[in-house]
């Protein structure tokens, strides 16, 4: 299998962490793919019409995307249980969707300042996207800490990837200031070998 990859991508990091946690990393070749909505030349548009990564090319079937589909496929292939059975599955999927939403907003903020021409950048857009991130972090701090204390699952991995991306691209926003319990959880989770081996760069 071939995974289209960018070491800065929090969504690709979800897949890379799952591969390490399930002992499948040797089965996947990483293919560099750097791009953005205005420059998709190096993105796998033949395998994923959206031109986004991660995209997983398989030898025995069509390419898979997006990160949630790829993670569920690899979790099934590895016989692991990072997606548990129902009813806990519904919580895990909702927590992963919350974390993915943080990543979506954080990536859009990055594109606003890193891709759009300076004269077209709009501060209100950045504040609106950060508002989604702040509400999501507040919700995790208020309602999900019990879940985060449970056995590792894909929701926890997605939250860790989202927080690592905030540190990587939006450190000045200091997400830890208003979320001490989440910060303490992340300090412990970030010590995992799979986290240490996939730091964004
Ligand atoms: C989002 C992937 C994504 O936005 C998923 O895999 O869960 N729903 C998808 N990937 C970004 C790279 S990133 O993680 O920074 C991407 O491919 N951007 C290029 C583009 O054209 O949007």
Where does the pLDDT of residue 95 fall: very low under 50, low under 70, confident under 90, or very high at 90 and above?
very high
* All structural domains of the chain with their residue ranges: 2-78, 88-192
pLDDT digits 0-9 by tens, 116-132: 999 999 999 999 999 99
User: CATH second-level architecture of 88-192?
Assistant: Up-down Bundle (1.20)
Report the atom number in ligand 1 closest to the C-alpha of 35.
19
Mean pLDDT of the chain: 97
The answer to whether the 2-78 and 88-192 domains have the same CATH topology is: no
Q: Is the dihedral of CA 177, 181, 182, 185 positive or negative?
A: positive
Residue burial 67-83, b: 16+ Cβ < 10 Å; e: rest? bbebbbbbbeebebbbb
pLDDT digits 0-9 by tens, 142-190: 999 999 999 999 999 999 999 999 999 999 999 999 999 999 999 999 9
Instruction: State the distance from the centre of ligand 1 to the C-alpha of 66, rounded, in angstroms.
Output: 8
Residue 201 pLDDT > 90: no
- 9 C-beta closer than 6 A to ligand 1: yes
* Nearest protein Cα to ligand 1, atom 17: 52
Report the atom number in ligand 1 closest to the C-alpha of 50.
21
Is the CATH code 3.40.640.10 the one for domain 2-78? no
Residue 92 pLDDT > 90: yes
- Pocket-testing residue among 31, 45, 53, ligand 1, by greatest number of atoms within 8 A of Cβ: 53
């Amino acid at each position: 299998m071939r995974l289209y990859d960018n070491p800065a991508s929090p969504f690709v990091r979800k897949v890379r962490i799952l591969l390490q946690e399930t002992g499948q990393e040797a089965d996947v070749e990483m293919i560099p793919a750097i791009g953005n909505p205005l420059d998709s030349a190096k993105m796998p548009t033949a395998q994923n019409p959206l031109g986004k990564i991660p995209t997983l090319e398989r030898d025995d079937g069509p390419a898979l995307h997006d990160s949630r589909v790829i993670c569920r496929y690899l979790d099934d292939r590895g016989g692991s249980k990072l997606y548990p059975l129902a009813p806990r599955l519904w919580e895990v999927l909702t927590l992963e969707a919350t974390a993915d939403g943080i990543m979506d907003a954080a990536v859009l903020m990055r594109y606003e300042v890193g891709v759009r021409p300076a004269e077209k950048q709009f501060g209100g857009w950045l504040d609106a996207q950060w508002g989604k991130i702040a509400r999501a972090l507040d919700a995790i701090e208020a309602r999900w800490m019990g879940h985060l204390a449970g056995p590792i699952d894909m929701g926890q991995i997605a939250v860790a990837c989202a927080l690592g991306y905030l540190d990587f691209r939006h450190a000045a926003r200091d997400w830890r200031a208003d979320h001490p319990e989440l910060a303490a959880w992340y300090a412990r989770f970030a010590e995992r070998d799979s986290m240490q081996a996939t730091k964004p760069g």
